Structure 1
Amino acid sequence: MDNPNDDSAQYLISTVSKRSGVKSDLVRAWERRYQAVTPIRTAGGHRVYTAQDIARLMLLNEATRHGHSISQIARLSLEELRRLVKSEQTATVLTSAPISATGRRCLAEEYIEKCYSSVVAFDANTLEAHFEHAIVELGTDAFIEHLLTPLLTRIGERWRSGELRPVHEHMASSIIRSLAYILRNNNPVAANAPRMVVSTPIGQLHELGALLAAIIAELKGWQVTYLGANLPAEEIAAAVCFTNAVAVTLSISFNNDDLVIPREIRRLKKLLGARAALIVGGRAAADYKAVLDEAGVLDVQNYDHFRAILDGLAAGHSAQISDGLASVE
């Protein structure tokens, strides 16, 4: 790989992210996992990058958009990356129309079978490779909706029937978490974008549903603060205050057959008041419909419904900003 210190100018990661178009967390992930760039550290411990690093990241970003796996191209030289990107740009001009929605569904079904076979074989490396390729071929939204969700449902069903062990589900979930940096929106978020906090209520330890909700919201242009799993209502409400969020999204994956979830929903709704909307979804959300209706929660039915809710809240947020500007004038 090229020497990252060929030029003397040094840039902090915030500047590198803006100039290369690659989000800071993705820069760190490519650096940590694939040694795509090798920054040096200042006396104060800050990473600093060169103009050559920025050029590499721009080319890597473009190449991955064309379907190349970062693990296979991360160590290419600058010249090799330039040739690769140039060849892809030429090929794009000659390609036919993008894959149709029906084609995506068929492709997703093929990937489901391949991924499930890898889970059964407990082959983590092959499963991760299938996921990486599917994300590129399907796009993030279709990957989540048409591949990942049905796959996780199948794994859960086979686990409960005894065909798979809990460790199979844990292995698949671990890989999905590790790939979150690929799934997340890599485009800059508008400064006035609506803000959201995403978590799971106390006692809900499975966070994949919440993580996927956070990714979908980011793709819709929201600025998301993802808190992970198992938080009490008071902490979630505190995060809303710290971030000025206009919405909270909770994922409920399991019915614990106790009074904790109803209590936490009521408590959080009271703490939020009119400050932020409360959105609840997940595999077990329907089991708590009575308390969700009672509290006036926005109950997510499916991914399209969640996106529609986000659009409605974003429109209301934009209207509030416009009204505020008009009053100032």
Structure 2
Amino acid sequence: MNDEARRPADTPLYPIREVSRLTGVNSVTLRAWERRYGLIKPQRTPKGHRLYAREDIERVERILQWLNRGVPVSQVRELLDQPETAETPAPAAGDWPGQRRQLVSALQALDLARLEELFNQSLALYPVPTCLAELWQPVVLQLEEGWGEQLGDILQRRTLEAFLRTRIGTRLLHANRLARGPVLLVAPLPDDPSPLWVLLAALAASDRGYRIQLFDAPLPSSEVPLAVERFQAAGLLLASGKAEKAELVRRQLPRLAEQLEVPLMACGPMARIRESDLEDTRVELLGEDLDEAMQRLQARLPVR
């Protein structure tokens, strides 16, 4: 007897958009888990639309638990049907270290086709928070530690910036059309020569349901209140991978936070490095880890 036959006729069923909202897994990923790996088997309407029972949603949540432990998506199916007491495979079973190496190698070789493949694959198979925590944030940290001012390093940096600017920008465009959350201005701070952190922060915030107005170059502080007003923004999120100048951190940012009628928040390495300088100001530090930063953002600025 199949699962559909066992379900009572009055079992509530949920469309894919609602399942995505409840679990945080976007619809593209849900479809990939179904088609490529057979992890979930939703019912279908006569017109072919997917409908998910509560058991399906619970299964999605268990899939997330395994993925967050580092288990490759290709190995999750066999684990789902084991008793709940089944032990988690050793960390070596996870494929994230391998994916990180592949990503770095593709960038070093300037292999844009491979970079595209890895980007699309990661975001199709895994939730955005997992991709950022396990793949993109560690890779950016690794690259920034190794990059200098040599010609090859600059070329790699600019290539990755251009690649992510285009791909993340496209995702933001489509996500903003569906998002119902508040408008969030996302911008870099002036000392960071790269938009990598602000792009990753924008992707993370968009995945949480915010409508993102992204600036990949710093806004003059005198223009920020006008930008907040014109875009009807509910908050300003600044990101930086650098420590930023003492004058900016100790005087300009606190002064700007006092001028704004919405929260001024900061994330990325700067939020960790400058924590003590900003603890008695209205600048709200969300932390370096993007997933934790988004949790603090939602607590401060809920998405209804």
Normalising by structure 2, what TM-score?
0.66
Q: What is the aligned counterpart of 1:107 among 91, 95, 111?
A: 95
Shift in CA distance, 232/267, structure 1 to aligned 2, threshold 3 Å: farther
Say if 2:93 is the partner of 1:93: no
Unaligned 5+ residue runs, structure 2? 1-16, 18-25, 43-55, 73-90
3-state DSSP of counterpart to 1:294: coil
1:140 aligned residue: 128
Shift in CA distance, 109/89, structure 1 to aligned 2, threshold 3 Å: closer
Alpha-carbon displacement from aligned partner over 1:201-230 (angstroms, at most 9, x marks no partner)? 344442221222222222222222212221
Paired residue total: 237
3-state DSSP of counterpart to 1:279: strand
Q: What is the aligned counterpart of 1:229 among 193, 217, 225?
A: 217
1:305 aligned residue: 292
Asked if 1 retains the 8 angstrom alpha-carbon contact of 2:286 and 2:297, the reply is: no
Normalising by structure 1, what TM-score?
0.61
Asked if 1 retains the 8 angstrom alpha-carbon contact of 2:202 and 2:212, the reply is: yes
Asked if 1 retains the 8 angstrom alpha-carbon contact of 2:161 and 2:194, the reply is: no
Shift in CA distance, 126/266, structure 1 to aligned 2, threshold 3 Å: same
Alpha-carbon shift at residue 66 of structure 1 (Å) = 3.5
Say if 2:272 is the partner of 1:286: yes
1:188 aligned residue: 178
Alpha-carbon shift at residue 151 of structure 1 (Å) = 0.6
CA distance in 2, matches of 1:89, 1:144: 22
Shift in CA distance, 92/312, structure 1 to aligned 2, threshold 3 Å: closer
1:176 aligned residue: 164
Shift in CA distance, 287/88, structure 1 to aligned 2, threshold 3 Å: closer
Q: Residue type of the partner of 2:115? A: L
Q: What is the aligned counterpart of 2:197 among 209, 213, 223?
A: 209
1:11 aligned residue: none
Q: What is the aligned counterpart of 1:118 among 99, 106, 112?
A: 106
Asked if 2 retains the 8 angstrom alpha-carbon contact of 1:135 and 1:183, the reply is: no
CA distance in 1, matches of 2:208, 2:38: 30
Alpha-carbon shift at residue 283 of structure 1 (Å) = 1.9
**Which aligned pairs between 1:146-161 and structure 2 lie closer than 5 A?**
146-160=134-148
2:228 aligned residue: 240
Q: Residue type of the partner of 2:256? A: L
Shift in CA distance, 67/88, structure 1 to aligned 2, threshold 3 Å: closer
3-state DSSP of counterpart to 2:279: helix
CA distance in 1, matches of 2:126, 2:210: 22
3-state DSSP of counterpart to 1:122: coil
